[in-house]
Amino acid sequence: MHTRIPVGNIKLKRAYAPVEADDGIRVLVDRLWPRGISKEAAALDQWFKELAPSTELRKWFGHDPARWQEFCSRYAEELRQHGEQLDRLRNMARQSRITLIYAAHDEAHNDAVALRNVLLGIV
C-alpha cells in the first residue's frame, strides 16, 4: 500500500498569483501555457502537460460548474492512462509540498482541483 499524501502537501494556485516561499515545487498542470506570463514570472519547477485534460474534454467542460461532476469522472478516467506521470507527481507530493499551478479563473472548478482530488484519493 502506498503512503498517503498529507493534505497540506498539495497547494493550488493561479498562475497569475505571486510566487511565495511556501509554494514548494511549482508544477504547471495545464496543457497550454498561461497567457501573458513569462517563464521567469511563472517560476515553475515542472510542467506536467501530459496530466492535463485532453483538448476534447477541456472544450466540452468549458468551465461550466453544471458539468463539474461529469468532468471530474471523465478526467479521472483520462488520468488512469498516464499512470507513470501520475505516480511521479504523487511521489513528489509524498516527499514535499507541491503547488499545482493553473490559469483558470474559477478557483473551485478547474483541472488542478480535480487532479488534487485524484492525488489525495478523494475520487
Q: What is the pTM of this model?
A: 0.94
Please check whether residue 27 is in contact with residue 49, taking contact to mean a CB–CB distance below 8 angstroms.
no
Over its length of 123 residues, how does the chain's per-residue pLDDT go in tens digits? 467 899 899 999 999 999 999 999 999 999 999 999 999 999 999 999 999 999 999 999 999 999 999 999 999 999 999 999 999 999 999 999 999 999 999 999 999 999 999 999 986
Q: Where are the domains of the chain?
A: 7-119
Please check whether residue 117 is in contact with residue 105, taking contact to mean a CB–CB distance below 8 angstroms.
no
Count, in order, helices (H) and strands (E) of the chain. Answer: 5, 4
C-alpha cell at 54: 485532453
